Structure 1
Amino acid sequence: MSNMKYILVTGGVISGVGKGVIASSFGTILKSCGIEVTSIKIDPYINLDAGTFSPYEHGEVFVLDDGGEVDLDLGNYERFLNITLHRDNNITTGKIYKMVIDKERRGDYLGKTVQVVPHITDAIQEWVERVAQIPVSDKKKIPQVCIVELGGTIGDIESAAFVEAFRQFQFRAKRENFCVAHVSLIPQPRSTGEPKTKPTQSSVRELRGLGLSPDFIVCRSEKPIVQSVKEKISNFCHVAPDQVICIPDLSSIYKVPILMESHGIVEYLNERLQLGIKSWPRKHMKQWSDLAYKIDNLRHEVCIALVGKYTRLEDSYTSVTKALQHAANTIGYKVNVLFIEASNLEKETLETDPVAYHDAWKELCKSEGVIVPGGFGKRGIEGKIAASRWCRENGKPFFGICLGFQTSVIEFARNVLKLKGAHTTECDAETPHPVIIDMPEHNTGEMGGTMRLGKRVTVFKSTAGDTKIKRLYSNKDKIEERHRHRYEVNPKYIAELEKAGLLFVGVDTEAERMEILELENHPYYVAVQFHPEYLSRPMSPSPPFMGLILASKDILKSYLARGCKLSPRESDYYDSEEDEFEINVKHLAISQVNESDSSAYSSSTNIVD
């Protein structure tokens, strides 16, 4: 076996405490030291992938270059680490069992009884070893460290096989190549305000009982934790005090790697995993401190309405909201996203719930820009169509993605071409004007993995000329973006739509499928069939999202006139004399989360569970 290093990140007490961001932060810190990093997310559910989930189950489905439909935590990894992951970087129980059963059917086990131990646990270990070796950056270098996040909570019956696999794996990899970080919640009841360590003690005890001893205990809490609590956790959980890392709720997730780095993680990992880091300048986290400092000091706000179908759970649109933040932060604005339930914009709601109807339209009207993201099914589609029409007729900056692209076509066909009853066959199979139709090769009768998925090339037409969207993409002839859809614009209506002013400026490589549309004589009315949010990065925002934010603040024209460059006011967000890591950390108010500062709580240090 190679000298690959592994960091296993587990969770205790409850799920959803931020393991994904903490795992990403480990990678960010190591990558800043020049270490090549990859990540694996383990989801213990039996589904083969996340593709068939309702967004209310696990939030959005994140799509990778190779078409893998995966957990949204892989989006965190890609954004933080600026790497390109693959479908095999997401392991599910379903994938493991299917692989083992397929091998059994082929006779690979020579008639033996196939069992969880050793066959399933061996399959898990072999999968992790194999995927850890896959390059994830343009350098095509084999990663040096693999960060593995085990989803769920220690003690769940679903994850038992994975925990056992890693109990064995620690000896297979050898101690100097394997360490464990356990993320646990420290609840702070409002009645007393005192942090309770007992849940963490129980969680660590259970983890140790299963054969894994944590090297780090990462304590998540609402407020900062005092030193005495840290020492108590150290005492009862068999780790040194400097191996207890306390992460309270922060104003920005980009502060997490900075705070973790300030705990001396680099020094500990360098020694524990024998990483061979000779020296590291204090500035190696500077880009993150600059970003967090900038976000903390944004003085202006831009208000964007998101007209969606799954707005009860904001995680359903994680990548969209992150992409909006990346674009807004780049030009010095804080984005305020107004989540509007699409069905509340429909006339039927006026009769059943007039308050919700008028509130939704009020929110839409007071926004500075509107985004209509993707989705599936009939519910709420008329609301998305209504929002598209309102933006077109009132000169409101508009950006449609996937279904939002399709609803803008339907709306234009109905209200400009006067094609009564125009619709998508997804919602109305008998529509007299099927302007949106399904793609035959992607209509197999199965639900999972049958769409047009992954990174594909979009070609700008020669007639695209001076369109805003092409200029935002730096006047490139071709771009690559990720897709996830099984419906497309009906070719029979394209000429008619374009003649009326709805320009399809981007198409696929065969010029058969419409990919990008832009409306003439409008401040910003752009829609795309692909999902540009998946490739947006904190330091490199997605061009169409930039266009929406700029148009919403009425500065798109000047931005394009400067060749898509920011003005000095927009790009200079701190004094050049304070261009030091230590200065920015000071402004990040890291001192507020110094667990040794007992003034964070009452003078009493007698913490009782």
Structure 2
Amino acid sequence: MKYILVSGGVISGVGKGVISSSIGAILKCCGIEVTMIKIDPYINLDAGTFSPYEHGEVYVLDDGGEVDLDLGNYERFLNITLHRENNITTGKVYQSVISKERHGDYLGKTVQVVPHITDAIQEWVEKVAQIPVSEGGKTPEVCIIELGGIVGDIESMAFVEAFRQFQFRVKRENFCVAHVSLVPQPKTTGESKTKPTQSSVRELRGLGLSPDIIVCRSERPIAESVKEKISSFCHVAPQQIISVPDLHSVYEVPVFIENHGIADFLCERLHLGVAPLPPRRKYMAEWIELGDRIRHLKYEVIVAIVGKYTRLEDSYTSITKALHHAGNKIGYKVVIKFIEASNLENTMLTDDPASYHTAWRELCLCDCVVVPGGFGKRGVEGKIEAVRWCRLNDKPFLGICLGFQAAVIEFARNELKLTDAHSIEVNEDTKYPVVIDMPEHNTGEMGGTMRLGQRTTVFKTSSNSSKIRKLYGGKEKIEERHRHRYEVNPEYIQNLEKHGLKFVGVDVDQQRMEILELDNHPYFVAVQFHPEYLSRPVNPSPPFIGLILAAKDRLKGYLARGCKLSPREPQSDYYDSEEELHDVNELRVKQLNIGENENDDNSSAYSSSSQF
């Protein structure tokens, strides 16, 4: 087993997750089986109880693990299925060691950070690295480990020490370190500052780990002279220093860093035994084509996300990625407008009329609407108002989790005339509780008690004409990931369906409602599960595909053709011939080539509108 440790310096959020994912994607293109581990040095057992403002979205895995959003990047880039054990936290490690101590496994010895905690970390990594993550059950050959936070954080010291020991445990030829650091470029001088990177590398070396690769993150490309300066102070060869500026899309990063020869270096450094690699444009063709497709999108679609955590875009990372996946596939550049749900509520008309009118104006100008999940009372009424507006104005709508429940509440209030209908999560004393809790998933504890992970949804036999079922290829059942503890009250289902709200998908016991749809609407779909978690760059999630198509009035034709894009669709308008596509790919490789002058006018790969 080979191991690559990715550490970070200067500031957090510098892009370690994308760099780690990109390295994994490159190795996978070389035919190497790769697995990923994310280490989060907080004491929480998992990310399940975090506020999205604290740490971004909570990503859910097939086995129900609530983990850091970086594991979503890993799954999207590598198209693999990870497990809860692939996310290691300080809390998990200490819980494991304390449990062993209580069972007497240490034979009365004093339990200490070194060696007991550090040994537990090393054993965990070795164990998890052997777990298959791809179809076919092959044991991974390379394990990429991302160490959260930055070098020097007191919280991560035990992990750094563990990997200092680990490099000798597995031997040098099986272990290398990639250090991701920020190179600031103050606008006052325009000069690249290397001191922060020098300091972070010095600290890393002082802790016993020497980087084999330094990835310099910056707004603009850094000059060769800057690389040479970093090289001389950090004891790393200039060719092992990679400058990654802000790019147009995160999906350009694998091609960009591979054009620095990282695959050749890793194959040699870790003795991976890969035969001489073909030209990059061949084994990286899928990524080159994806990046080029994104860069040359001609048309736009405006999507409003009506949520309660809109101050931090990372709160809805998987949803925004899923929307981009769908837009890229169909041929539309997705422009996302975040709308604070509470600003749509009538109370804001008197409290803050400017915010109220701005929010409604943005909602009216969008092409389609997504109402995502969330917890708590704040913003729920605004989400319900957004759902009502979409239903009455034939605006394409997709509700997810709480958005699904908001659609049920809105329909009950305005079509069934149950004006006080609500969820007991928001109003425990509501006269018409159309959304209730699931007792077995509401034990009073907050962490890990919801209905989590991959579950089967069965389409009803009466749903053959359903748009959403057709988007899923007419399947009888589908597998999607869940994260909720409230459900539609079965007592109201018959009355809701009688008035036109169709529940076309249910759980395997046909007790819980999973998918709803309106027939007399361009696209009014809501799902209890989270389809965004399984969306991939080359395989977008069907509900998002339907939403974007409906927003551009192309859904009917798409479904009539058996879910196939017409030759007249925008995606075919990029190039007039295969020859032109080949020429563009050749130019793309040339533009991203390591040997090209960073200041050349053709270096259009760089953009200040980064998606890192």
- The one-letter code matched in structure 1 to 2:546 is G
Aligned: 1:12 with 2:9: yes
- 1:116-169 deviations in Å (ceiling 9; x for gaps): 000000000000000000000111100000000000000000000000000000
Q: How does 1:39-78 map to 2 (within 5 A)?
A: 39-78=36-75
Q: Is 1:141 the equivalent of 2:138?
A: yes
Indicate which of 35, 38, 41 corresponds to 1:38.
35
Please report how far the alpha carbon of residue 266 of structure 1 lies from its aligned counterpart in structure 2 after TM superposition. Answer: 1.1
Q: What's the offset of the Cα at 1:565?
A: 0.3
| Whole-Å separation in 1 of the counterparts to 2:331 and 2:585 | 17
Alignment partner of 1:554: what SS?
coil
Q: Is the 8 A contact 2:10 2:196 kept in 1?
A: yes
1:605 match: none
1:354-395 per-position Cα deviation (integer Å, ceiling 9, x unaligned): 000000000000001000000000000000000000000110
Contact 1:224 1:593 in 2 (8 A): no
Give the distance between the partners of 1:542 and 1:382, measured in 2 at CA: 28
- Match for residue 286 of structure 2? 287
Give, in whole Å, the separation in 2 of the partners of 1:395 and 1:435.
24
Name the residue aligned to 2:494.
Answer: 495
Do the aligned residues in 2 keep the contact of 1:289 with 1:585 (CA within 8 Å)?
no
Partner of 2:607: none
Preserved CA contact (<8 Å) 2:259 2:594: no
Q: Which residue of 1 aligns with 2:251?
A: 254
SS in 2 for 1:505: strand
Q: Is 2:576 the partner of 1:577?
A: no
How far apart, in 2, do the equivalents of 1:223 and 1:569 lie?
A: 38
Please state if 1:409 is matched with 2:400.
no
| Residue 586 (structure 1) aligns with | 587
Query: What residue is the counterpart of 1:442 in the other structure?
Result: 441
Pairing 1:400-549 to 2, within 5 Å after superposition: 400-549=399-548
CA distance in 2, matches of 1:219, 1:30: 20
Match in the other structure for 1:561: 560
Superposed, 1:296-375 pairs within 5 Å as 296-375=295-374
Give yes or no for the alignment of 1:275 onto 2:272. Answer: yes
List per-residue Cα deviations over 1:181-236 (Å, max 9, x = no partner): 00000001111100000110111000000000000000000001111111111111
Match of 2:210 in 1: 213
- Tell me the distance in 1 between the aligned counterparts of 2:590 and 2:102: 59
Shift of 1:578: 3.7
Give the Cα separation in 2 of the matches to 1:68 and 1:281: 38
CA distance in 1, matches of 2:397, 2:321: 18
Cα distance, 1:197–1:595 mapped onto 2, change above 3 Å: farther
- Structure 1 segments unaligned to the other structure (5+ residues): 601-609
Gap change, CA 1:362 and 1:270, over 3 Å in 2: same
Match of 2:182 in 1: 185
Q: For the residues of structure 1 that align with 2:94 and 2:568, how far apart are their CA atoms?
A: 56
Other structure's SS at 2:343 match? helix
Q: 1:504 to 1:597 in 2, by over 3 A?
A: closer
Q: Which residue of 1 aligns with 2:610?
A: none
Match of 1:120 in 2: 117
Deviation, structure 1 residue 115: 0.1
Deviation at 1:76, TM superposition (A): 0.1
- Checking the alignment, whether the CA contact within 8 Å between 1:259 and 1:590 is kept in structure 2 is no
Tell me, in whole angstroms, the C-alpha distance in 1 between the residues paired with 2:389 and 2:150.
46
Q: What is aligned with 2:606?
A: none
Give the drift of 1:111.
0.5
Structure 2 residue 165 is the aligned partner of structure 1 residue 175:
no
The TM-score with structure 1 as length reference comes to: 0.97
Question: Given that residues 224 and 594 in structure 1 are in contact (C-alpha distance below 8 angstroms), is that contact kept between their aligned partners in structure 2?
Answer: no
Q: Which residue of 2 aligns with 1:224?
A: 221
CA 1:264/1:593 → structure 2, altered by over 3 Å: closer, same or farther? closer
**C-alpha deviation, 1:443, in angstroms:** 1.1
* Alignment match, 1:606: none
SS in structure 2 at match of 1:29: helix
1:279 Cα shift?
2.5
TM-aligned CA deviation for residue 420 of structure 1 = 1.9
* Unmatched segments (≥5 aa) in structure 2: 602-612
Task: Work out the CA distance in 2 between the residues paired with 1:323 and 1:307.
Answer: 16
Q: What is the CA–CA distance in structure 1 between the aligned matches of 2:125 and 2:397, rounded to whole Å?
A: 43
- Native 8 Å contact 1:227 1:598 kept in 2: no
After superposition, give the CA deviation of every residue in 1:448-490 in whole Å (9 maximum; x if it has no partner): 0000000000000001111100000000000000000000000
- RMSD (CA atoms): 1.2
The yes-or-no answer on 1:239 pairing with 2:240 is no
- Write out per-residue CA displacement over residues 550-581 of structure 1, whole angstroms, 9 at most, x where no aligned residue: 0000000000011000112334333311444x
* Alignment partner of 2:93 out of 92, 96, 101: 96
Amino acid at match of 1:393: L
- Which deviations, in whole Å up to 9, do the C-alpha atoms of 1:40-96 show, x marking residues without a partner? 000000000000000000100000000000000000000000000000000000000
Residue 544 of structure 1 aligns with an amino acid whose one-letter code is: P
Offset of 1:432 from its aligned partner?
Answer: 0.3
Change beyond 3 A, Cα 1:595–1:15: farther
Cα gap change, 1:585 to 1:69, in 2 (>3 Å): farther
C-alpha distance 564-205 of structure 1, shift in aligned 2 (>3 A): same
1:586 is displaced (CA, Å) by: 1.9
Distance (Å, rounded) in 1 between the aligned partners of 2:80 and 2:586 = 26
1:265 alignment counterpart: 262
Work out the CA distance in 2 between the residues paired with 1:593 and 1:393: 54
Determine helix, strand or coil for the equivalent of 2:525.
strand
The 8 Å contact of residues 259 and 593 in structure 2, kept in 1 or not, is answered as no
In the aligned structure 1, how far is the partner of 2:19 from the partner of 2:531? Answer: 25
Residues in 2 aligned to 1:410 and 1:154: alpha-carbon distance in whole angstroms: 48
Q: What amino acid maps onto 2:585 in structure 1?
A: N
| Alignment partner, residue 383 of structure 2 | 384
Given the alignment of the two structures, is residue 79 of structure 1 paired with residue 76 of structure 2, yes or no?
yes
Code of the residue aligned with 2:540 in structure 1: it is P
Q: d(CA) in 2 for partners of 1:564 and 1:14?
A: 45
| C-alpha distance in structure 2 between counterparts of 1:457 and 1:91, whole Å | 28
CA distance in 2 between counterparts of 1:111 and 1:585 reads: 66
Structure 2 distance, partners of 1:401, 1:557, is: 22
Partner SS for 2:38:
strand
- Indicate if the aligned counterparts of 2:183 and 2:194 stay in contact, CA closer than 8 A: yes
TM-score (norm 2): 0.96
Q: What one-letter code is carried by the residue in structure 2 that aligns with 1:253?
A: V
Distance 2:172 2:596 in 1: 30
CA contact (8 A) 1:296 1:588 kept: no
Instruction: Tell me the distance in 2 between the aligned counterparts of 1:190 and 1:591.
Output: 25
- Measure the CA separation in 2 of the matches of 1:567 and 1:207: 54
- In 1, Cα distance between the equivalents of 2:540 and 2:600? 40
Say whether the 8 Å CA contact 1:246–1:595 is kept in structure 2: no
Report the CA distance shift for 1:288/1:102 in structure 2 as closer, same or farther (over 3 A).
same
Is the 2:288–2:588 Cα contact (8 Å) retained in structure 1? no
- Give SS of 2:73's match: helix
